[in-house]
Amino acid sequence: MNQVQKLLIIGFVWPEPNSSAAGGRMMQLISLFKEQGFSITFASPAQDSDFMVDLEQHEVDKKSIELNNSSFDIFVKELNPTVVLFDRFMMEEQFGWRVAENCPNALRLLDTEDLHCLRLARQKAFKENRLFSVTDLFLEDIAKREIASILRCDLSLMISEFEMELLESVFKIDKALFYYLPFLLEPIKIAQLQELPLFEERKNFIFIGNFLHEPNWNAVQNLKETIWPLIRKQLPEAILNIYGAYPSQKVLQLHNVKEGFLIMGRANDAPEVVKNARVVLAPLRFGAGIKGKLLEAMQCGTPSVTTTIGAESMHGDLPWNGCVTDDIKDFADKAVKLYQDKTIWLKAQQNGVAIINQRYLKELFEDDFAKKVEMLQTDLQKHRLTNFMGAMLQHHTLKSTKYMSLWIEAKNK
């Protein structure tokens, strides 16, 4: 294709790679498209934040856009992108119909991050003290919105094989509409591993996670109320450092020096604090996607103890970087053993390296993804013709969402 390739990313928020895995993921996608020769514009209706990345340093144009405002139509028509990437389904809901109307030939991609409906249905089941069942997904309004968004797009990028299986078996979505693109990392070489702090040089347990994300706050409550007292019983001097961006007052109130339960707030350099810790604890009781904190632990050579939801879709058939268990007592026992036993700890560290090097290398995915994008662009009309449900939803959305948006815009004037 001779046309200059232009990518427009419509972001739910401005990327904050030091605050969340989602921010890191977005920067990986930007890097991927940059290397394919795209010129990139990142647009978002979000407010600027103190911790957002400087996009211009990455040669990405930054553009603030408004919800329910036809100024977007003028902007997108002038830009005339060849590919539009929606960051989460909410952005496709807001701007997808405008893109379809003004740039009908642009390839529309959706980066799901995780299946929001899965995370919320699991959260609801947990709060109601019952087991989650896939039929719960059908009861979620957000599932109807999210699946409609996936159907309207030409391709949805998925980071979890479990969620791809759900789309295919539960929601009966054609495999041609989604694509596995997990976190894209550089290999861990032996020399890098040798530069990391040794077992003897590390101390303390650590939890790390953005507190705007409900599963993280719940995991910290789980640690405080059940798991940490069991660990302290066996290791009376143990300390748990809890790091995370945007801690609320209720998080800060859990700080207790006497119990060795320390709320540290935002980590200025997350890899630095993780690689100096001996064990990462992540007792997640609900959630979706793959967990950036656990991949970061592997990159830092730090073993982890997590739950089946924490490790879901992350390690394939490979042994975990530590232990996976849903039993509270077992979780505490395994954490203590990992903390004390150098042999088990070193084996766990090696497992983490193998998971990164066999499942998350950028080089495993970049060429295939470039080919996929090119193939879709070449054959876009045919691809869309085979997606009748998407075309039908696009037709009705253009009518309903369009007129609702125009009504809000008129009302705002």
Residue pLDDT tens, the chain, 413 long: 457 899 999 999 999 998 888 999 999 999 999 999 999 999 999 999 999 999 999 999 999 999 999 999 999 999 999 999 999 999 999 999 999 999 999 999 999 999 999 999 999 999 999 999 999 999 989 999 999 999 999 999 999 999 999 999 999 999 999 999 999 999 999 999 999 999 999 999 999 999 999 999 999 999 999 999 999 999 999 999 999 999 999 999 999 999 999 999 999 999 999 999 999 999 999 999 999 999 999 999 999 999 999 999 999 999 999 999 999 999 999 999 999 999 999 999 999 999 999 999 999 999 999 999 999 999 999 999 999 988 898 877 766 777 778 888 888 87
> What are the φ/ψ torsions at residue 399 (nearest 5 degrees)?
-75, -55
Q: Which residue has the tokens 């902007």?
A: 75
Looking at the chain, the domain(s) classified CATH 3.40.50.2000 span: 6-184+362-412, 190-359
44 close to 11: Cβ distance less than 8 angstroms = yes
Q: 383 vs 44, 360, 372, 390, CA distance in Å?
A: 28, 28, 12, 11
Res 271: pLDDT: 94
177 close to 390: Cβ distance less than 8 angstroms = yes
Q: Classify domain 190-359 at the CATH topology level.
A: Rossmann fold (3.40.50)
Which among 371, 363, 240, 358 has a CA at the least distance from the CA of 298? 358
Res 1: pLDDT: 45
H helices of 301-387, in order, are: 308-311, 328-340, 342-359, 362-378, 380-385
Whole-number Å distance between alpha carbons of 44 and 280:
34
174 close to 151: Cβ distance less than 8 angstroms = no
- The SS3 of residue 328 is helix
Res 413: pLDDT: 79
Q: 6-184+362-412 in CATH: which number?
A: 3.40.50.2000
Q: 354 vs 187, 290, 301, CA distance in Å?
A: 10, 17, 11
Taking each helix axis as running N to C, give the angle between helix 388-412 and helix 141-152, from 0 to 180 degrees, rounded to the nearest 10.
110
161 C-beta neighbours (distance < 10 Å), count: 15
> What are the φ/ψ torsions at residue 282 (nearest 5 degrees)?
-145, 75
Report residue 19 CA to chain centroid gap: 12
126 C-beta neighbours (distance < 10 Å), count: 17
pTM of the model: 0.93
Q: 363 vs 27, 96, 252, CA distance in Å?
A: 16, 31, 41
DSSP secondary structure letter of residue 235: -
